[in-house]
Structure 1
Amino acid sequence: MRRHWENCVTHFDDGVDQFIDDYFSQSSRCCVLVAGAGFDPRARRIAHQLSAAMGKRVHGLFIREDRGDPAIALQKLADDNEAQLKSIIADATVAHVQIFSADDRAPIGGHGVRSAIDGYGWPEGVTDIVLDMSALSTGVGFPLARLLLEYAEARPTVSLHLMVVSNPELDDRIVGEPSAQVQFVRGYSGPSGSYDALPVARIWLPQLGRGRVETLRKIRNTLDSVYKVCPVVPFPARNPRRADELLAEYQSQLLNEWEVDARDLIYVSERNPLDCYRTISTLKERYDRTVEDVFFPQIILSPFGSKVTAVGAMMAAIEHDLSVQYVETLRYEFDLIGMKESSPLPDLAVHVWLHGPVYGSYDVGSEKVAN
């Protein structure tokens, strides 16, 4: 058990900037930044800050998600971001990951991520890995996190940091066209083995996001033996009415299709991923005790919307071996002009120190942490 995740080291907004300046400016630090190189305007912020603090001691592995038929404007934005990232970090490798198979259009992004990590030439003396989730999709970012965590946990001197530049208002303007296939995120299919011994009782935790009604309906239609649906909504949030607006958008599904009781709603902070992690962890532990020896308990996550909340769900999925079901995006549309005209709110930043010597002689799989 990773008990340190319950209260692991985190920083927010200006605190992230200060942490980068103080920690990564140390001459003993050698860092690999793993991040997205797509169209998202948040792709360059962490790279800028790390480069300013570390110079040539930071190396980059940038993931370019290729979906086959991008909008021309978004293709140009992605090309510009890639060129800028290469200029910011001198030792930069760009790995192109095909999200869909050319043969049958099946989602294969998770396989490409494994190949990108296995094929990367890791520099000598790496002390820190930073995974920047700001411009990575769920189908790529989640497998990356698990692979990098395994890499770091096998090396006691290496720290793994997770950073996110979040902007919920900007996320609302990025609209994706879902593919037809519902699937597990690679590495997040849940416990293996047979469920024959006990009947399965599933709890589905869909994270509500703007414009995702049909996507979540598609996921729900593939699930059977669902005991309860517990939607995850952001509260507290920067927009105090965000939860109400989402509940209004999903009203028909919540009341008529999923039969959600108001007491089943899960409220988690839009700013702190540990709030979502702790909430899901508590639900998992209580549900296991409640149905022990009667049902086989299974919790299925479907994270959409806020990247910060999705990170908390990802941590819970890794820690408790939970299933994550999603629908891959065929192509994106981004209302960049509307965003500029609406005077967007500033980005939010989060740093989570997932693993490293800072937590003492912690051993994976043990509940004991030596301080």
Structure 2
Amino acid sequence: MMHARRWDPCIAHRGQEVDKFIVDYFSSPDRHVLLVAGAGFDPRSTAVATRLALTPASISAVLFQENRPKPAQGLLERATCNAVTLGAAISKKVVIPVEIFGADGAVIGGRNVVAMLNRQDFSGITDIVVDISALSVGTSFPIIRYLFEQIERGKMLANLHIFVAHDPKLDADIQPVPSDAPGYIHGFKGGSTLDSSAKAAKLWLPQLAAGRSGTLGLLYNFVAPHDTCPILPFPSSNPRMGDELAEEYLTEFESGWSVDTRNIVYADEGDPLDLYRTILRLDDLRKPVFQEIGGSRLVLSPLGSKIMALGALMAALERDLPVAYLEAIGYNLNQSAPAVIAVPNLVHIWLEGDVYPKPRSRLLHDGGIPA
């Protein structure tokens, strides 16, 4: 049974369309915009903020600084430079340090950012812009889910926009140092821990990325899926990327995960809606097949490209899918990576707000994210 899709159609912009959208949409001083973004070392940190600052709209910002143990001095210096640029662009801001790990090593970043947002005053805000370019998946997913649910339930009257600077090469240049404790992202357990899901046929959808075999191995053992459908980018900026990843993970395909080549999922590297629709289509196809034997459960693991991670996020929001993830305890950055991306390839998704007719297509689940 095919369900109506919440973001079909979806208001989205890519490339030069995004710059035009920013200039046109935020042209009125009556727009009161809250920017939620990361103030870190990522060269993309300032791309959206500096563009919003040039518009007549009233801009304020909540900037999260993700703190991890023993960061490299070079990364701290880059983060400091980005913070100065952000401060010059947006004077009305609050910079909030976020501890990603607790004293006992537990991952607490997602819970921390939600608690901090829960204390913010959103009155008078017409538009919330979340820039995930410099936020990790473990913090950006809970942030977006919290804001999405507040708007969905009528507790917040604002448009919700998601922006990301798309740069596959930079994504590859930033190599996370994984922790050793995989788990579900805060707010994205998707009923996976309930007894009713114990007998469900689990299909794991890992997004493959170069140099991440150790991370994916730990996630595979954590999820313990019945079947695995790896996600490869196609089309992609590097036409051979899909083949190169398939070659890198050949051992996992043939022995570790027992992947049938017919079960490989291909998704457009530069279009989050492509992966979003693909995941929902797989979910729709599996539900009637496994309905009589415990049901079906898709488990997502977004790694690598932030664009494809955004597509996975949208599917997880709509179907309340669990997202298994391994948080990074640090990052290694290729020294050749630029300090600033001069001409970023921006992508914009209008997630909620005035542009969509009411009532919206209902969500299949209404779990909610704890504050």
Decide whether the 8 Å contact of 1:169 with 1:345 is kept in 2.
no
Task: Give me the whole-angstrom Cα distance separating, in 1, the residues matched to 2:93 and 2:20.
Answer: 24
Query: 1:3: how far off?
Result: 3.4
Aligned to 2:359: 362
Bigger strand fraction: 1
**Is the CA contact 1:178–1:215 (under 8 Å) kept in the aligned structure 2?**
yes
Which residue pairs with 2:64 in the alignment?
Answer: 63
What residue identity is the alignment partner of 2:119? G
Deviations 1:289-319 (A, max 9, x none): 1111212211110100110000000110111
Moved more, 279-288 or 80-89: 80-89
Shift of 1:349: 1.2
Question: Tell me, which stretches of 5 or more residues in structure 1 are unaligned?
Answer: none
Structure 2 residues without counterparts, runs of 5 or longer: 365-371
SS at match of 2:245: helix
Shift of 1:114: 1.4
Cα distance in 1 for partners of 2:353, 2:95 equals: 26
Does the 8 Å CA contact 1:230/1:266 hold for their aligned counterparts?
Answer: yes
% of aligned pairs identical? 38
Cα 1:171–1:268 shift into 2, 3 Å: same
Cross-structure match for 2:86: 85
- Alpha-carbon deviation of 1:249? 1.1
Which position in structure 1 is the counterpart of 2:12?
A: 10
Contact 2:43–2:338 (8 Å) recurs in 1: no
Q: Aligned letter for 1:3?
A: R
In structure 1, how many angstroms separate the alpha carbons of the residues matched to 2:70 and 2:171? 21
Give, as a single letter, the amino acid of the residue that structure 1 aligns with 2:39. Answer: A
Q: Distance in 1 between matches of 2:90 and 2:342?
A: 28
Give the C-alpha shift of residue 144 in structure 1.
0.5
Letter in 2 for 1:348: N
- Tell me the SS of whatever aligns to 1:186: coil
1:24 is aligned to 26
Equivalent residue letter for 1:299: L
Q: What corresponds to 2:244 in structure 1?
A: 245
| AA in 2 matched with 1:161 | H
Which residue of the partner structure matches residue 218 of structure 1?
218
- Partner of residue 75, structure 1: 76
C-alpha deviations, 1:254-309, integer Å up to 9, x for none?
Answer: 11211111110000011110101000001011111111121221111010011000
Q: Is the 8 A contact 1:11 1:350 kept in 2?
A: yes
Residue 344 of structure 2: aligned partner = 347
The CA distance in 1 between the partners of 2:71 and 2:180, in whole Å, is 17
3-state DSSP class of the match of 1:247? helix
- Deviation per CA, 1:176-218: give whole Å up to 9, x if none: 1110101000000012674358722100000001111100001
TM-score by length of 2: 0.92
Partners of 2:353 and 2:325 in 1: how far apart? Answer: 30
1:204 maps to 204
Q: 1:358 to 1:156 in 2, by over 3 A?
A: farther
Which amino acid is the alignment partner of residue 339 of structure 1? Answer: A
**Alpha-carbon distance, 1:105 to partner:** 1.1
1:332 corresponding residue in structure 2: 331
Gap change, CA 1:116 and 1:258, over 3 Å in 2: same
Match of 1:131 in 2: 130
Cα distance in 2 for residues equivalent to 1:107 and 1:127:
32
Q: CA RMSD in A?
A: 2.0
Contact 1:4 1:359 in 2 (8 A): no
Q: Do the aligned partners of residues 346 and 249 (structure 1) sit closer, same or farther apart at CA in structure 2, a change above 3 Å counting?
A: farther
Distance in 2 (CA, whole Å) between partners of 1:168 and 1:15 is 19
How many residue pairs align between the two structures? 360
| Aligned-partner Cα distance in 2 for 1:334–1:358 | 39
Q: TM-score, normalised by structure 1?
A: 0.92
